[in-house]
Amino acid sequence: MKRLILTNLILSILLLSCNQAKKEADTTANTEQEKQEPESVNMVDEEPAPNVNSAYDVETVVGDMDVPWGMVFLPDGSMLVSEQKGDLILFKDGAKTLVKNVPEVVFRGQGGLLDLELHPNYEENGWIYISYSSPEGEEDGANTAIMRAKLKGDALVENEVIYKATPNTTGPNHFGSRIEFDNDGFLFFTMGERGERDINPQDITRDNGKVYRLKDDGTVPEDNPFVGKENAKEAIYSYGHRNQQGMLKHPETGEIWVHEHGPRGGDEINIIKKGANYGWPVISYGINYSGTRFTDKTEMEGMEQPMYYWVPSIAPSGMTFVTSENYPELKGSLLVGSLKFQYLEKLTFDANNKVTSREKLLDQIGRVRNVRQGPDGNIYVGVEGKGILKLVKK
């Protein structure tokens, strides 16, 4: 009898343990499912990938480069190319020369020697403008700076820092930066928000996450939108940006166009307006890299809508309009480099600047860092791990 009671007790304990284990297993499974399927989803539906146009190939112009960030074409037919790691290369008559007396850069993450641009009257004054991550300042780390200098032989001379963002931070991300002149000779440049999403972009008393406008000597134009505003950075022209690595002047309208990286989705093309707020991070078509949302808004009164946005992100860098007769089938199109998907994107627009088609050129060529149309009418593409390549028809 005792043995029967003991047996029944053991069976009851085992049955209770099994039920408890099943409950724990179910709870664990539910928890894992929640991790794998976050409540938040994309803000908008993803676009299908653009079709591949295989009609183009490349010829190497300047080879054996790591990250060719900026490039400009000098009147004598030579080219200046910036390497992110800090080298400035003069390419002339098929040979590369390292330029001396370049600014000190902090080469870390997305920082380094960045964009290059010539003064519109370069042949008269010789000024070259350079953006880079500078350690100058009291704090550790770096922030974006703009320098102008002249090229004499194989060295920069008359180096002059005309803008330096503050404060320095040790973060490795979102320095920007591109440089462009408008038709009135004003200098525009971009600076990313340095990864400080909730601090910099919406605050005009702080640098970063902005588009800036200066006179060519670094002084602030009297008609900049925030001149006279208490504690404002008066060089700011627009704000609410994330990390802008493409900038150009529209060849017909003279407008300044900028593209910028979104997070996961929500890369944007914006036409820059005086004093405008482009919304980051209050509004966005992107989500966190983890798949969760940081905002539930894609639009808000007083904030600009992008002219175009990419979902999924292509990680854009560099852009140029094709105006050359060398590529009649591309004329009027916008070319944008894709770092993420490693191709050159062609976008066409209607009269209202609405994108009507997209195509992939040079599919899987590598991470496209920059693209520019040269004075000879050819398209030159900067590809990481390769160098400067010329676009040619097959």
> Cα(142)–Cα(160) distance, rounded to whole angstroms?
18
List all residues 6 or more positions away from 283 whose beta carbon is below 8 Å from its beta carbon.
Answer: 295, 297, 298, 299, 300, 303
Parallel/antiparallel/unpaired status of strands 379-383 and 387-393: antiparallel
Which residue matches tokens 């600009």? 304
Which residue matches tokens 């966005």? 284
Q: Is 119 assigned a catalytic role?
A: no
List all residues 6 or more positions away from 185 whose beta carbon is below 8 Å from its beta carbon.
Answer: 120, 215, 216
Of the residues 119, 174, 241, 261, only one is catalytic, namely: 174
Active-site positions read 174
